[in-house]
Amino acid sequence: MSSPIPYRFETTRAAGELASDKAFEDLAPGESSGVVVSVAGRLMRLRAQGRVAFAELRDWTGAIQLFAQSDVTERFDELAGRALGDWVGAVGEVVRTKRGELSVRVVEWVLLAEARRGFGDKWRGVNDPDLRYRQREVDLWANEGVRDTFLVRSKVLAAIRRLLSERGFIEVETPVLHQVASGAHARPFVTHYNSLHSDFYLRIALELHLKRLVVGGFERVFEIGRVFRNEGISPRHNPEFTELELYQAYADYHDVMALTEELVAGVSLEVLGKTTLTYQGRPLDLTPPWRRATLEELVAEQTGVEVGLHLPPEELRRRARELGVAVSDDDGPGKVLVEIYEKTTESSLWGPVFVMDYPKEVSPLARDHRSRPGYVERFEPVIAGRELGNAFSELADPDEQRRRLLDQAAERAAGDEEAMALDEEFLRALEHGMPPTGGLGIGVDRLIMLLTDQANIREVVLFPALRPPSGRGDVAVSASAVGTVGVGGPSEGGLSEEGSGEESAGADSGEELAGEGSAPPATPNEGSRRRD
């Protein structure tokens, strides 16, 4: 009869750390260490043969082999009959089997949780994209490397915080629910605040509240938070995403460029140990300094066509159409210029490069350029063909800011759902005075895509936005979802199938489980799942 599920289980070692522990490097095949450990995790592979059984126990650090013997392991038959995916805790001595596999020879064990649904099979994993994203808890176990991506994500966030703290920035939290949808060009999500009898918006940016804090005397401030934009879903876009925004008083966009390249390179160095990467098969060097070039310079390099606000609007539209860029006669020259850049040039920039000096027409929160009329001091860092963020010398003049937001409000009233609304509280704050300030926003998900070599944003978001399921949402992993993505296999060296029931770890004589190539027929443990 099975023992009851305990309320807690004390572990002394993590599976992956134990498997790689150099203290056992000199343990010869067949030897026992005399070290007793307690480990816990899921049974991801299991093979019983006669009076011995071998299992791969996997936790979030890796895997270790469990070695069970009928005359040593309590309730041996029950352990040998467990289904794949069950959580167990085991206590035993660290040994090296005759086949050379570091193992825990199980003396005591306890069932910690029963897996009533499967994770695909141990050979093919799960490769149905919808199922992987919808049931990430399955994906994390079934597909090797997925967990590593999200561990890197956690380290990236920690590194950002540490590096900014070292530079004197403080972290704050600002409201998620806004009375006014402003701070970015985006369509907001709308919700209703029952106790206030009013509609509110999920924030589309962190910007305006953070600038109010600069006004309040927080001279270096940042926030890492979730932002919500009611827009399309694509490999590069998720409606709910993580953004870093920071603001530094007494700085301009040149200072922010230096900070940006130091921050991105510093995070890469801290998390990956290097700044020279390979992304989607191409080399990518994040080492500062990065190239700085104007938007027009980059378009001319890519297309051979001169563009800029110095051209008459009709001539700029004509050149846009010659380049295959669809523009309207109602589009202003600033919008046309940005459309030309985005349609002809941005995706070809491997970078990293700071794309500098955007038209004032499309940059309502940035300060006028000090030497180029019609432009603002704004840049976007572009890496691997996509913008990583957006940064300005911030507009601090309350009168000019009001004029620009009124223009945005007029566009919104005319039907542009992405135009900014007029935020009187923000304008009132600026009237108290904001010093020269440099600001930066970075898409954290896109940064993590770069550092983990992922082309799809859904691979770095634990639970990405998906269409509602067409059928039941609680279906188990089906045979059709099983594909060719590799599942976490044996620890280095493979599971041993060792055939003797003697107590000595050296008394094994079975065959290795197949590691690569064609999968063998599944045993009852491997191929079936309990439904009770």
**Dihedral (Cα; 128, 131, 132, 138), 10-degree rounding:** -120
Q: Euclidean distance between the first and final Cα of the chain, in Å?
A: 16
Token pair 């650090």: residue? 61
Q: Is the dihedral of CA 228, 229, 231, 235 positive or negative?
A: negative
Mean pLDDT of 425-436: 98
Q: What is the pLDDT of residue 525?
A: 37
Q: What is the pLDDT of residue 496?
A: 43
The answer to whether residues 508 and 98 touch, using CB atoms and an 8 Å cutoff, is: yes
* CA angle in degrees (0–180, nearest 5) for 99-102-107: 105
Q: Look over the chain and give the mean of its residue pLDDT values, rounded to a whole number.
A: 89
Mean pLDDT of 214-234: 95
**Separation between Cα atoms, residue 466 and residue 489, nearest integer Å:** 29
pLDDT at 424 over 80: yes
Q: What is the pLDDT of residue 451?
A: 98
**Separation between Cα atoms, residue 153 and residue 165, nearest integer Å:** 19
Residue spans of alpha helices (H) in 195-245: 207-215
Q: What is the pLDDT of residue 446?
A: 97
137-141, 233-237, 459-463: least confidently modelled range? 233-237
The fold of 15-117+489-527 is OB fold (Dihydrolipoamide Acetyltransferase, E2P) (2.40.50)
5-19, 154-168, 231-245: least confidently modelled range? 231-245
**Separation between Cα atoms, residue 54 and residue 513, nearest integer Å:** 10
Mean pLDDT of 166-183: 96
Q: Which helix (H) or strand (E) holds 470?
A: none
**Separation between Cα atoms, residue 460 and residue 447, nearest integer Å:** 10
233-247, 397-411, 475-489: least confidently modelled range? 475-489
Dihedrals phi, psi of 159, to nearest 5 degrees: -65, -40
Q: What is the pLDDT of residue 1?
A: 53
Domain ranges of the chain: 15-117+489-527, 124-290+388-486, 295-350+353-381
pLDDT at 486 over 50: no
Q: How many residues does the chain have?
A: 532
Q: Which residues in 294-319 are b (16+ Cβ under 10 Å) and which e? A: bbbebbbebbeeebbbebeeeebbeb
> E strands of 272-333, at which residues?
276-279, 282-285, 291-294
pLDDT at 531 over 50: no
Mean pLDDT of 71-86: 96
pLDDT at 104 over 50: yes
Confidence of residue 51 (pLDDT cuts 50, 70, 90): very high
Mean pLDDT of 168-179: 97
**Separation between Cα atoms, residue 39 and residue 59, nearest integer Å:** 9
**Separation between Cα atoms, residue 119 and residue 503, nearest integer Å:** 33
Q: What is the pLDDT of residue 3?
A: 72
Residue range 188-208, pLDDT digits in tens: 999 999 999 999 999 999 999
pLDDT at 504 over 50: no
The answer to whether residues 381 and 262 touch, using CB atoms and an 8 Å cutoff, is: no
What pairs with residue 225 in β-bridges?
A: 243
Q: What is the pLDDT of residue 124?
A: 57
Dihedrals phi, psi of 147, to nearest 5 degrees: -60, -40
Q: What is the pLDDT of residue 2?
A: 61
Q: What is the pLDDT of residue 499?
A: 39
Contacts of 339 (CB under 8 A, 6+ apart): 320, 325, 327, 331
Confidence of residue 165 (pLDDT cuts 50, 70, 90): very high
**Separation between Cα atoms, residue 404 and residue 417, nearest integer Å:** 16
pLDDT at 365 over 50: yes
The answer to whether residues 318 and 379 touch, using CB atoms and an 8 Å cutoff, is: no
Amino acid at 494: G
Percent of the chain with pLDDT over 90: 81
Contacts of 425 (CB under 8 A, 6+ apart): 180, 212
58-67, 104-113, 124-133, 352-361: least confidently modelled range? 124-133
pLDDT at 494 over 80: no
Token readout for 29 is: 């095949």
pLDDT at 22 over 60: yes
Which class is domain 124-290+388-486?
alpha beta
pLDDT at 379 over 80: yes
